[in-house]
Amino acid sequence: MNWKSIRLELARTEEYPQGSPRHVYILHLPLLPDDLIDEPALSAQPERATAHRYWENERTRSGYVIKTPRSWVLSYERGEDDDEVLFHLETHPLRAGEYVTIIDAEEERLPMRVASVQELEDPSESTAQSGSPEVS
């Protein structure tokens, strides 16, 4: 399966000249061999396209990666008020060392570095092997 866990860390900013591993997004997305989003795979299992925001001194936020008519967004609640926009995800590869920009809900541009990309286990395979779903 082509689902990946993608770790984005805050890149250099004025406030964090070295970047910050304490400001992180974890995205679960299907990727093609060229590291672009596999839209047909995502359309087949949209509930697996999750986003988690771990921000120092803030509560963790969990939601979904959604494609809108204008862009890709991280959405944590119903409506658009909390959406965070991911720039050019349809043409930008998500591979370690690359950079993406997120505009948060306060409209601040956040440069993010792809810190790692790891394989995700297919949940149907783990259920078939163990006979029951994994509990975490």
43-53: per-residue pLDDT in tens?
999 999 999 99
Q: Does the structure show a pLDDT above 80 at 132? A: no
CA–CA distances in Å: residue 95 to residues 35, 44, 89, 133: 6, 23, 12, 30
- Cβ-based neighbours of 71, under 8 Å, separated by 6 or more: 85, 86, 87, 89
- Dump pLDDT digits (tens) for 100-116: 999 988 888 999 999 99
- Residue ranges of the domains in the chain? 3-123
Tell me: the pLDDT tens digits for 65-95? Answer: 999 888 899 998 776 666 899 988 888 899 9
